[in-house]
Every structure is written in structure tokens, then in C-alpha cells.
């Protein structure tokens, strides 16, 4: 049975459009309570990012869980990885995140963590979907779930983040610009970096419910780059709206994406003898990173785009490190999910131990030009468009022209109605031209 509502990262869409409606989320809360809540008397955590619709969906989920007889702990604004951590350490039956991650404020979504602080496998998501189809009922009044707000959620998560690097490390004298995307880390990330001794300059820490990811954060790091240069800072840290992505800026003003960060962490784990197995990337991971890892004796294994697939491979192989160019970095030797703050701390620790700047640590990676063109879908299914003969022929001709020095990837977005056209090769002008040619062929039939 295929999943109807769940995508690669929970259920996501435009607020007010099915299924991101109060009615559906109420039923979803009830269904999740039945499947994940550990039976009547179970415990589920709910956290959210800062978008205005979070209040509405928080209430709907709470009502659904209560009707299922499940107790709820409300966390308020909390990064996605913080909710994963608290779900695990508070021995909850599940954690629920209200967030659309890097999307604009008019989108929202619901995603879940199991009791171990990991994303749900497909079969459990299918069980929730099957329960949604059942008539909703309510337990009797004396068996209804109770709701409590967890007041110390922020402090617990801050202490956890700091504990992922040695306590003896002091970053006094280091100047850091931190951009929180007006999202869920606005009241957490600055405190973490200040408490380890750094001088912190903040951006994106004034959420108003509508400005999340708006020209700031990991999806728009240009403002951070300018501020790093203006302040003469040692580095910049950009997080996304729910805090699971990380993009950095070095002291020379160069933007460092997830591939750069993954290289730094791979070398760090190799230096300490902690490295185990391959690094797991995705089909979008730059060919330059693969070659750089090969030079230092490490392998790169590619999986489908999406941090859930990285996690699945890491877990299956008992490996520890993986990530995406977008900034999802998973350090399984430190936590159970992608965590922007924790990943940034690992980079800072490597800078501290080696005495090198971020720019110096990134030396060794010569990334190939990689162009990504997003083509909006109308009423066509992505799979149908990608199988059209003219599209297949355009991709085949382009691949033949590039030979072994490039690659082309067409894939549907897991979160938006788009087909993503990616072209990578040694010559930027040629890569741009080929990307536009293929994208134009896709547009013609969308």
C-alpha cells in the first residue's frame, strides 16, 4: 500500500489546502495517538517552529491526541532535532513536529519521531494513514489525555548541544555571526554559542510568524555572508526554519554548503580514528566531494535525495556520517537526526583542535559547477513528465555530450510540485547551457 499523505519528510503543503487544514490535522492527531501513542495513557511531545499557523495546528493535534486518550507535552517553539532529542530522553512514545522546514510561512507540515528519536519507517506511516480512514471517536471523559507544557525544554536541549563537544573547549576570542532564519532556533542557537565562549552577532532572531526563511537562513545565506565581511567575523552559521540544516560562511566570505561541511567532519573523524565506513551522500552530492574523499582514502555512497534515505543507509551499515549539499548533516555518533547546531559545533571543535580556519579546513575540495533548475508542475505527475520520450531523449543526448566529466539528474521534489533538473560538469558555461536546454524540454510538456 503506497502512502497518500506522507512525503519524504512528513506531510507538507499550503496552509488551508488539503491536507494542511485544521480538520485533517485533528484527525491526524487522533490517528497518530492510536498508532504511536502507546495506548491510552501514552505520552507524545508536540513542538513547532515560528510560523503563525503553528498555533492552529498545535491545538488541532492536541485535541486529536486527547480524544485518543494520549497525554501531551507541549514544547512550544523548538528545533526539529531538539524535539527528536527530547522524545528520546523523556521516554515519550512519539514526538510531533509542526514545521515546513525551509519553506515560506504560508506552508506548514507535520512530521513524526519514534520513541527512539528517529523518523518513522514507511510501514508505520502507512498504519497512520489507514487509521485516518477510520471513523474518529473519543475515549470516555475519565480516560481523556491530559496536556502539560514542558517549561524547561529549551534549557535541556541547549545543554545537550553543548555536550556534543568536549567541555574543556573554550571559544573566547572567536567572533561568530549566527542567522536563525527567524525560525525555531532563534532562542536557542545564540545561547549555545555564547555559552561556549564565542562572541555572537545575531541575524534572523525576531520571528513574527510571517518572516520565517524570508531572505535569511540556510536557504538565503547572502545576508550572512555580507555581515561576516562587515564584522570581520571568524565565520558565519546559517540555520533553516526548523534548525536541521546548516550552511556556513568562512572568514573570507565564501559560502560553505553541506558538501564542504561533510568534508570537514569526515576529515575530523578520520583524524580522531572515529570514522567508520563510507560517507553517505545523495544523488545531488557534488562530484568534487566524492573525488576529494577518495584522495584521503574515504568512500562516498550515494542514495536518493532526502535525509531519511541517508539515515536508512547509515543505520543499515552501522556508519556514522552523511549529509546533503542543502545542509542536512547527520552525525550518528552524536545524535539521532540531522541537527544544524550540533553539526556547527563539530566544525568549531575541529577548528579549535587544529588551529585552522574554516577556509583552510575546506581546502582539498574542488567542487564542480552544479546547476539546479526548478520546473513547476501543473496538473501532470512528475513521473509521467520524466518518462516522456522527448525528455528522455534530451537527457540522453546531454549525457552523451558530457561523457565521464559530468552527470544529469531529473527528480521530483519531495516537498513541492516541482521537477528538479540538475546538471554537473567541469565547465560552468557548458553546464548552464545544458541545464537550460533540458529544463526547457521539461517545461514544454508540464
Could you list the active site residues?
Answer: 101
Nearest to 394 by CA among 442, 446, 443: 442
Q: Is 308:119 a contact under the CB 8 Å cutoff?
A: yes
CA distance 145 to 33: 10
Answer for the pair 80, 337: CB distance below 8 angstroms, yes or no: yes
Residues 6+ apart with CB under 8 A from 404: none
Q: Do 315 and 325 contact (CB within 8 A), yes or no?
A: no
Identify which of 435, 387, 391, 439 has the alpha carbon closest to the alpha carbon of residue 418: 439
Q: Give 18's contacts (C-beta < 8 A, 6+ positions apart).
A: 24
Q: Are the C-beta atoms of residues 444 and 393 closer than 8 Å to each other?
A: no
Alpha-carbon gap, residue 174 to 431, rounded angstroms = 39
Helix (H) or strand (E) holding 307: helix 307-317
Amino acid at each position: 500500500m503506497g502512502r497518500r499523505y506522507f512525503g519524504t519528510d512528513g506531510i507538507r503543503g499550503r496552509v488551508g489546502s488539503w491536507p494542511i487544514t485544521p480538520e485533517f490535522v485533528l484527525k491526524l492527531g487522533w490517528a497518530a495517538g492510536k498508532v504511536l501513542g502507546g495506548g491510552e495513557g501514552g505520552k507524545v511531545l508536540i513542538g513547532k517552529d515560528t510560523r503563525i499557523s503553528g498555533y492552529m495546528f498545535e491545538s488541532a493535534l492536541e485535541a486529536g491526541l486527547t480524544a485518543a486518550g494520549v497525554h501531551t507535552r507541549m514544547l512550544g517553539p523548538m528545533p526539529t532535532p531538539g524535539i527528536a532529542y527530547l522524545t528520546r530522553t523523556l521516554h515519550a512514545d512519539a514526538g510531533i513536529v509542526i514545521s515546513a522546514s525551509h519553506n515560506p510561512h504560508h506552508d506548514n507540515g507535520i512530521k513524526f519521531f519514534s520513541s527512539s528519536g528517529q523518523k518513522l519507517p514507511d510501514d508505520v506511516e502507512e498504519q497512520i494513514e489507514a487509521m485516518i480512514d477510520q471513523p474518529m471517536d473519543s475515549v470516555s471523559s475519565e480516560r481523556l489525555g491530559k496536556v502539560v507544557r514542558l517549561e524547561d525544554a529549551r534549557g535541556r536541549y541547549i545543554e545537550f548541544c553543548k555536550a556534543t563537544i568536549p567541555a574543556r573547549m573554550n571559544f573566547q576570542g572567536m567572533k561568530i555571526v549566527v542567522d536563525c532564519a527567524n525560525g525555531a532556533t532563534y532562542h536557542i542557537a545564540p545561547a549555545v554559542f555564547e555559552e561556549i565562549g564565542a562572541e555572537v552577532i545575531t541575524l534572523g532572531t525576531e520571528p513574527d510568524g510571517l518572516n520565517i526563511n524570508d531572505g535569511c537562513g540556510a536557504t538565503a545565506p547572502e545576508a550572512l555572508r555580507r555581515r561576516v565581511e562587515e564584522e570581520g567575523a571568524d565565520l558565519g552559521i546559517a540555520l533553516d526554519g526548523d534548525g536541521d540544516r546548516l550552511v556556513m560562511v568562512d572568514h573570507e566570505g565564501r559560502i560553505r554548503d553541506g558538501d564542504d561541511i561533510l568534508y570537514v567532519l569526515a576529515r575530523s573523524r578520520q583524524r580522531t580514528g572515529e570514522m567508520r565506513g563510507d560517507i553517505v551522500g545523495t544523488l545531488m552530492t557534488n562530484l568534487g566531494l566524492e573525488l576529494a574523499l577518495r584522495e584521503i582514502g574515504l568512500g562516498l555512497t550515494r542514495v536518493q535525495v532526502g535525509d531519511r534515505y541517508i539515515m536508512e543507509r547509515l543505520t543499515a551499515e552501522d556508519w556514522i556520517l552523511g549529509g546533503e549539499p542543502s545542509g542536512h548533516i547527520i552525525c550518528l555518533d552524536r545524535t539521532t537526526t540531522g541537527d544544524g547546531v550540533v553539526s556547527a559545533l563539530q566544525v568549531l571543535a575541529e577548528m579549535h583542535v587544529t588551529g585552522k580556519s574554516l577556509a583552510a579546513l575546506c581546502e582539498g575540495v574542488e567542487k564542480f559547477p552544479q546547476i539546479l533548475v526548478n520546473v513547476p508542475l501543473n496538473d501532470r505527475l512528475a513521473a509521467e513528465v520524466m518518462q516522456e520520450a522527448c525528455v528522455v531523449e534530451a537527457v540522453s543526448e546531454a549525457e552523451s555530450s558530457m561523457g565521464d566529466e559530468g552527470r544529469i539528474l531529473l527528480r521530483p521534489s519531495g516537498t513541492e510540485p516541482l521537477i528538479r533538473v540538475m546538471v554537473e560538469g567541469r565547465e560552468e558555461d557548458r553546464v548552464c547551457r545544458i541545464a537550460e536546454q533540458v529544463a526547457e524540454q521539461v517545461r514544454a510538456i508540464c
